[in-house]
Amino acid sequence: MPELPEVETTLRGIRPYVENRTISKLIVRNRQLRWPVPKALIDARDIEIGAITRRAKYILLESSLGTIVSHLGMSGSLRVITDNSRPRKHDHIDWLVAEGDKIRYHDPRRFGALLLVTDTNQDKLFSHLGPEPLSDAFNAEYLREAIKRKAAPIKPSLMDQKTVVGVGNIYASESLFMSGISPLTPANKLSATQLATVCDNIKYVLQRSIDQGGTTLRDFVNSDGKPGYFAQQLFVYGRHGETCRRCESKIEKITQAQRATFFCPTCQH
């Protein structure tokens, strides 16, 4: 699933082609995504686009219709098309930009979405979300307050979007490895020093991944159609049974909250 770095990378890639421009129309080849594409978007013409931003894993386009919300789901990507290349299998939507470019939405599993909302502050998609992990609002003091009553393990606690947004499975595992903290540790048992370390490493790992264009494990590609390269720098995620890059112990894999967790039993305690 595309996580925060992959969505941020996508946003930065499409922004020069869409921000403060006009989408002449959408070509929708398959409306049935996670939720059906709204008819108002399908029928619209000459949609004026303003600022493009990100909230959690959502790309937000301020427009003359309201806020257009794009979510990549499990396997989605948005590519910039500057020629007349034909749609491929699973290319479900084209945004036709008035200047002649296209933004093409590709999604084999169709768990993504393209929606239209009137108020992101009130909409149920956004009203429960915690702070952005790369913002100043996400710090050790905030995290201590957010998890002080949570006896659940720290790893699924970090993946709770009410606690902090965008820290998915890959980056929670990697951040805890960098922090030397077992994913099994109860969240409310971490010291102030440990919480500060976790916050710092979440920011570090996310920014490193953004700088590398995100992590491609299967489907994700950037707006230029190229994969992200952070996968080559992963210490634990997806490396079950392989040797730890630091201590040569074997990386272990367990299941937490129905998600795979990878960790080094020697480096993390």
**Could you identify the residue written with the tokens 């301020």?**
62
Contact 162, 129 (CB under 8 A): yes
Q: Smallest Cα–Cα separation from 104: which of 9, 11, 27, 31?
A: 27
Tell me the backbone φ, ψ of residue 119, rounded to 5 degrees. Answer: -150, 105
Provide φ and ψ at 5, rounded to 5°: -60, -40
Q: Residue 158 belongs to what H/E stretch?
A: helix 154-158
Strand order through the sheet with 77-81: 77-81, 102-106, 91-97, 22-28, 47-55, 58-63, 66-71, 113-117
Which sequence positions are flagged as catalytic? 2-3, 57, 259
Query: What does the chain come to in residues?
Result: 269
